[in-house]
Amino acid sequence: MMTNYFKLAWRNIWRNKRRTLLTAASIFLAVFLALIVRSVQTGWFDYLIDVTIHSYIGHVQIHKNGYWDDRDINNSIELNDSLVKLIRLNKNIEKMVPRLEYFALASYGKQTKGVNLTGTDPVKEDSLTHLSSKVIKGRYLDNSGNGILVSEGLATFLGITTGDTLVLIGQGFHGVSAAGKYPVAGLLHFSVPQLDNQMVYMNLATAQEFFSAENRITSLSLTLKNPDEINATVADLKARTTGKDFEIMKWSEIMLEVEQQLKIKTAGGSIIIAILYIIVGFGIFGTVIMMTNERFKEFGVVVSVGMQKTRLAMILVLEMILIGLTGIIAGLVGAMPIIIYFNLYPLHIWGGMAKAFVSFGIEPLIPMALKPGFILSNVIAVLLIVLLTCIYPVRKIFKLRVVEALHK
Amino acid sequence: MIFKIAFKNIWRNKVRSLIVIIAIMLGLIGGIFTVSVITGMVEQKIRTGINNEVSHIQVHHPKFLRNYEPQYLIPHADSIAGIITKMQGVKAVCVRTRLTGMIASPNSSSGVQIAGVYPEKEKKISSLYKAIPDSNGGYFTGSRKNEIVIGRKLADKLKVRLRSKVVIRFQDPGGDLDEGAFTVNGIFQTSNTAFDEINVFVRKADLDKLTGVDNGIQEIAVLLDDNDLIPATEALMKSKLKDLDIQSWMEIRPDMSMITSAIAIEVYVLLGIILFALAFGIVNTMLMIVFERTHELGMLMAVGMSKIRVFSMIMMETIFLTLIGGIIGIVVSIVVIALLQRHGIDLSYVSKGMSAVGFDSKIYPFIKREFYIHLCIMILGTGILSAIMPARKALKLKPVEAIRVE
């Protein structure tokens, strides 16, 4: 029986090719535009998140409880093998970057300035943040030796360059006074002025010695193999470290601002998609109305020869679904190559927008996202719109009076 | 004549025409509303940025802005300020000492930009004093010496409250390191947390007493009657004050001006997408109409209606449909936006993210007048473009064949 309906519906839609193609074209446009817009948005947000994570934070950070609110060196934790082993027990952990960060005064000649002193593991740091790519003069940190990296803006202010010796003064662990002289191994360039004016990097061991904080770190940044499982991983890490007085934070908790901005933008994006659906929905509705009016006489004829109205309505809905699927498939065929291409080769943007990107330290790229999630949800949404437009012809059929319909 | 027929044709099938009109209307209302929210946010950001932070124009020693080194003073700053005050369109002028330093509380310390100001004059140029809620003190309201006004973010970072003691350290223009204890007199909270974190204000007199010498003037801020006066006033100042660095807010805060230009592009891209989708719907409907009326069109041609007339009749119908929808859409949008402007849209539930980038949590939607003009042109263009294809289809009909179509 079902196959008969199907056959009838299939033949019906090809009886008037032009009408079917026009309706399918509306649906094609809905799927095509929605997919492209969503893919650009999602891709852009994922890219921003990725940039945020790889600029400094990692996916997850571990600190002493209360460190994030009060970034004091006394709120540091001891880094030892048992802690590393404990964390490694979670199989989702990819990289670990230990850092010891605190405020210090840097002095050269007559100039003095407050700086953010970061002691880190050169190799691990580079694998997360690609710090070595920011070296514009001199060389990157090596595993031993006490050479330091100074950001360009700070170096200009102090009038210091590679080969010179920088004096650092500060307060170490438990209030011990800290002071030391360090040769400048390289200069770094950060595109964000705030960083460019205040960063000094050195080896983790050198920093621990400077601050008299042996084996201590202020933060441990982790990256995950599968970022989508971040919640489970954090829960697991919390369970493993109970009683240790740690705080384990997701990147979204650390960068509350970024996360909330993304929420606002996502909401804005959904509004745009909603507007698109409304426009296209009306377009489809228009063609459906026309189709109903054109075929009204035909409906009258089939009902008068004994076709049940329910069956007629079912065939009609089936027709719409078939047209809908045709449009959806066409939309996917049209949009997917574009999405796949720009997913592999992100679009480079230019002009004022690109400058704005660079000023925030972001490479001016727009990659398109390729995720089954939003593709499926858009397909479902379009199908629902198509089904919604069926209400009109179905109602017409149930209200149909044979005599009137035949005289149309 | 064609005009009349086309208009009457539209109402022959009311439901169909209404659907196209409603689609155009809703699409435009959605689009205009989104644009108004985006524009409103950006305008607000720029207005508060100018009023609280940078003013319209700033004057510095040519070398000062490179590293904010305090020895680069503006010579004869007071007489220069006097000259600027007399210029046309200048609302207020203010001189400041600008130093870079550190602020420390018993709990924590942080790098800051210190501004030494004349509070009464400062109030005329900067509305920052209005950003201090009553519960958070005032703008140099106390009579004690060494009062400081800081931002909410910095206060939280340092864990200080009103009347807490903080110590500021800085390098003075002579190159000496100075420090002094100050009492927190007021805590301001702007929509830009980054600004709140790094800017502190003290009386210039207190600073000078602390260092024992006059710290000089590193900055003159100028507020104009209107943003549009910037180019003229800037040019005039540049011609009169040759040895100084004169910059408008657009140069001082490239991030602010770049957001403006980036948003302008985004807005037109958004409308482009919406109009494209609408055009598609219009073409679709009009094509159907032409196919449906093949018989009728063939008849018209057979009785002697010229092809040009048939073509322009279909063109007219399409353009009418588009314009009716467009005009209703724009009118409704204007009303909706005017209503929302009165009360604003409260986004405080996500406001932390908004203020982090310098946006207010309450948005007052806003649309520039020229935007409506551009929009009308775009709508008309959409109407004409989407009319061409259906009208051409009508043109290609052969009367003999068309008449036979049922």
- pLDDT at residue A185, rounded to an integer: 94
Residue A391 binned pLDDT confidence (cut-offs 50, 70, 90):
very high
Pairs across A and B, CB distance < 8 A: 148
Say whether both B168 and B279 belong to one domain: no
User: Do residues B74 and B103 both lie within one domain?
Assistant: yes
Residue B326's Cβ-count burial label (10 Å; 0-12, 13-18, 19+) is: buried
- Asked whether residue B113 is domain-assigned, the answer is yes
Nearest residue on chain A to B71, alpha-carbon basis: A111
Instruction: Choose among A319, A237, A203, A205: nearest CA to A58.
Output: A237
- List per-residue pLDDT tens for chain B, 406 residues long: 778 888 888 888 888 888 889 889 988 998 898 889 888 888 888 888 899 888 999 999 998 887 788 888 898 888 999 999 999 889 999 999 999 888 988 877 888 999 999 999 999 999 899 888 888 888 998 778 899 999 998 998 888 999 999 999 988 888 888 889 999 999 998 888 888 989 999 999 999 988 888 888 999 999 999 888 899 999 999 998 888 999 998 888 877 777 777 777 778 888 888 898 889 888 888 888 888 888 888 998 889 888 888 899 999 999 999 999 999 999 999 999 999 888 888 766 655 555 555 566 678 888 888 888 999 999 999 999 999 999 998 888 888 888 887 6
Q: Is residue B56 part of a domain?
A: no
Do B43 and B81 sit in the same domain of this protein?
no
Q: Which residue has the tokens 């959605």?
A: B30
CA dist., res. A81 & res. A100, Å (int): 17
In angstroms, the CA B389 to CA B382 distance is: 12
Flag whether residue A146 sits within 8 Å of chain B, measured between CB atoms.
no
Q: Cα dist. B406→A246, A347, B298, B396 in Å?
A: 80, 51, 11, 18
Distance CA A221, CA A98 (A): 6
User: For the ranges A210-224, A225-239, B62-76, B214-228, which has the lowest average pLDDT?
Assistant: B62-76
- For chain B, the first-to-last Cα distance in angstroms comes to 27
Which range has the worst mean pLDDT, A278-282, A382-386, B80-84? A278-282
Residue A390 φ then ψ, to 5°: -70, -20
Residue B224, domain member (yes or no): yes
**In angstroms, what CA-CA distances link B291 with A325, B6, B18, B397, B405?**
24, 16, 19, 10, 10
Alpha-carbon gap: B255 to the closest alpha carbon of chain A (Å): 7
Percent of chain A's residues with pLDDT above 90: 42
Flag if B15 and A289 touch (Cβ within 8 Å).
yes
Task: Give tens-digit pLDDT for A311-322.
Answer: 999 999 999 999
Q: Do B323 and B261 reside in the same domain of the chain?
A: yes
DSSP code, position B115:
E
A339's tokens: 């999405």
Query: Can you name the residues that pair with B97 across neighbouring β-strands?
Result: B116
**Would you call A72 and B66 a contact, using CB atoms and an 8 Å cutoff?**
no
What is chain A's mean pLDDT, rounded?
A: 88
B72 and B221 inside one domain: yes
User: Across chain B, how many H-helices and E-strands are there?
Assistant: 16, 11
Site of tokens 């949008």: B333
Q: Name the residue facing A283 among B13, B281, B350 (closest C-beta).
A: B281
Q: Is residue B42 part of a domain?
A: yes
For the record, the structure tokens of A271 come out as: 């509004």
Last residue in a domain, options B243, B268, B283 = B243
Give rounded-to-5 percent helix, strand, coil for chain B.
60, 20, 20
How many CA atoms lie within 13 Å of A345's alpha carbon, on the beta-carbon side? 3
Phi, psi (deg, nearest 5) at residue B183: -105, 135
| Domain assignment present for B249 | no
Is the full-model pTM beyond 0.80? no
Distance, CA of B347 to CA of B339 (rounded, Å): 17
Nearest CA in chain A to B175: A110
Instruction: Provide, as residue numbers in chain A, all residues whose Cβ is less than 8 Å from the Cβ of B26.
Output: 275, 278-279, 282
Q: Which of B222, B200, B303, B180 is nearest to B56 (CA)?
A: B222
Tokens matching residue A18 = 């032009």
R_g of chain B computed on alpha carbons: 31
Residues B222 and B347 in one domain: no
Copy the structure tokens of residue B2: 């064609």
Domain boundary among B243, B276, B292: B243
Which three-class secondary structure state does DSSP give residue B242?
coil
Q: Does residue B81 form part of some domain?
A: yes
pLDDT for A336 equals: 93
Q: Considering only CB atoms, which chain B residues are within 8 Å of A157?
A: 67, 69
Of A26, A256, A262, the CB nearest to B352: A256
Q: Are B192 and A257 in contact (CB under 8 A)?
A: no
Do B202 and B318 lie in one domain? The reply is no
Q: Which residue of B has its CA nearest to A157?
A: B67
Query: Domain span at residue B228?
Result: 62-243
In A, minimum Cα distance to B258 occurs at: A356
Which of B243, B274, B289 corresponds to the end of one domain?
B243
DSSP symbols for A362-376: ---EEPPP--HHHHH
**Nearest C-alpha in A relative to B280:** A26
User: What is the rounded CA–CA span in Å between residue A358 and residue A349?
Assistant: 11
Q: Does B252 reside within a domain? A: no
pLDDT at residue A97 greater than cutoff 90 = yes
Co-location of B170 and B312 in the same domain: no
Contact flag A290-B16 (C-beta cutoff 8 Å): yes
Q: Do B285 and A71 touch (CB under 8 A)?
A: no
Cα B60 to Cα B220: distance, rounded to the nearest angstrom? 7
- Would residue B250 count as lying in a domain? no
Least CA distance to B102: which residue of chain A? A114
> How many separate domains does chain B show?
2
Strand partners, A170: A104, A178
- The C-alpha angle with vertex A399 and arms to A396 and A400, in degrees rounded to 5, equals 80
| DSSP class per residue in A50-68 | HHHIIIII-SEEEEETTTT
Region of poorest pLDDT, from A89-93, A234-238, A360-364, B325-329 = A360-364
Kindly state whether residues B183 and B161 are assigned to the same domain. yes
Alpha-carbon distance B25 to B329, whole Å? 4
User: Quick one: pLDDT at residue B60?
Assistant: 93
pLDDT on residue A324: 93
Nearest CB to A261 within list B23, B67, B357: B357
Same domain, B128 and B175: yes
Name residues 348-377 of chain A within 8 A of B (Cβ).
352-353, 355-356, 359-360
Please check the confidence at residue A332 and state whether its pLDDT lies above 90.
yes
Q: Rounded to whole angstroms, how far apart are CA atoms B22 and A289?
A: 14
Tell me if B353 and A259 make a contact (CB, 8 A cut-off). Answer: yes
Query: CA A109 to CA A132: how far, in whole Å?
Result: 27
Q: CB distance A257–B353 less than 8 Å?
A: yes
Instruction: State the pLDDT at residue A403.
Output: 84
Contact A328, A380 (CB under 8 A): no
